[in-house]
Structures are given as structure tokens and as C-alpha cells.
Amino acid sequence: MIVESTAIPPPGRREMRRASRREAILDVAQRSFLESGYAATTMNAIAAELGGSKGTLWSYFPSKELLFAAVLDRATASFRTQVAVVLNPADPPERAIRGFCRRFVERICRPESIALYRLVIGESQRFPEVGRIFYERAPAITRKIVADYLAGAAERGQLKIEDAMLAAEQLTHMCLAGMHQRFILGLLDKPSAAMIKAEADRAADLFLRAYG
């Protein structure tokens, strides 16, 4: 009564299992690292939450540091892909910039983003690469996208901008001005949609007032 049903698995069934197990480990580890920081996260706790044994955990990630690096890598990758920013050159610049600000503020004020930022900053002293990797994969990429748009808008005569990179940096940081610092320091917990909109509009207003 043995049916050969599973059709696909010539490319290895072990590999599949292994990959999904790896993901499961990273899920648990990421949650713990983001929630408690590096030092307060214990391998024992991760193994316990996984249900498996310690030996298995170590067979996937031979040290806590390597596990941490893998978590960081995955987290920034997810950030990167989610910055599918909607800066449409066909829109009038007010609309495009306002839309970007809202999306950006919403993104960076999510609890996971805040936790990631905290984690990176907290560990960037002990692991200097952490800060560099994060910077290159999150803020630098966003800035580049915004700068490209702004340069185009300047060419089309829609905005008066000399240094697009500088302007992009100013715009993104304006989006951080109010709530973000308070989130980072733990004075606020959950952003409401109204707060996000207000924050984004304030940033866009100032920017457009200066460069419009």
C-alpha cells in the first residue's frame, strides 16, 4: 500500500527539509534577537523554543555569532526588498514626495524596524561590520532611490535641487524627526495611521517649501 505520490523530490528531499529547518531556526532566533538583544538571547532558549536538541541547532549554526550574522543578513534583505518605493516620475512632485514620505514613515516605524535599528546600533560597537552592512543595505539604498528621483525631477524643472544626494538625505531624515526617535527610546509603542500621516506630511511640507 505504498504509493509513490510525491512527484517532485528528485532535487533532494533532505535539502528541502534542511532549508525549511534553517528558516525555522532563523525565525526563532530573529524574534529573540530583536526582542531581547544579542547578549540576552541564549542558544539554550532558542533550542528550547524550537523543540529540537542543542546538537541540531549547532549543526546548522556552529556558533552564536554566526547565527546572529545570518539573522542580520535575512532581516536587512527583507527590508531591502520592501523598499519597493513608489516614486513615480509621472506624478506631480508634491504627490510623489508625499506618497513616499507616508510609505517610508510607515515602514520605519514598524515595531520590527525599530527593534532591528536598536539591535544594530547596540551591537555596532562590538561587531563593527554589523553597522556597515546595515547601512549599506538599508539607509544607503533608500537614499539612492530617492536621489535618483529627485535628480530627475530637477532635470524636468519640477524642483530646484543642486545636490540630489544631500536633498535625499535631508528628506529621509526629516521623516525621522518626530516619532522615530521617541520610538527608538521607547517613549511610544504603536504608531497610529493618523500619526504616520501627520509626520509624513510635515516632512514633505518642509522639503517642498525649501526645494519646491
Contact residues toward DNA (CB under 7 A) are 9, 12-14, 17-18, 21, 41-44, 51-56, 58-60, 62-65
Helix axes 111-123, 13-40, angle to 10 degrees: 70
Specify the stretch interacting with a copy of itself by CB under 8 A; choose among 64-72, 87-95, 125-133, 144-152.
125-133
Looking at beta carbons only, is 9 or 111 nearer to a copy of itself? Answer: 111
| DSSP conformational letter for 89 | T
Q: Is 36 in the site for a copy of itself (CB under 8 A)?
A: yes
Residue type, 130: V
Task: Please report how close the Cβ of residue 62 comes to DNA at its closest, in angstroms.
Answer: 6
What is the Rg, in whole angstroms, of the alpha carbon atoms belonging to the chain? Answer: 21
Task: Please report how close the Cβ of residue 129 comes to a copy of itself at its closest, in angstroms.
Answer: 9
Looking at beta carbons only, is 115 or 154 nearer to a copy of itself? Answer: 115
Taking CB under 8 A as the criterion, which residues in 181-200 touch a copy of itself? 181-182, 184-187
Looking at beta carbons only, is 47 or 96 nearer to DNA? Answer: 47
Residue type, 139: P
One DSSP character per residue, 142-206 reads HHHHHHHHHHHHHHTTSS--S-HHHHHHHHHHHTTTTHHHHHHTTS-----HHHHHHHHHHHHHH
Looking at beta carbons only, is 41 or 172 nearer to DNA? Answer: 41
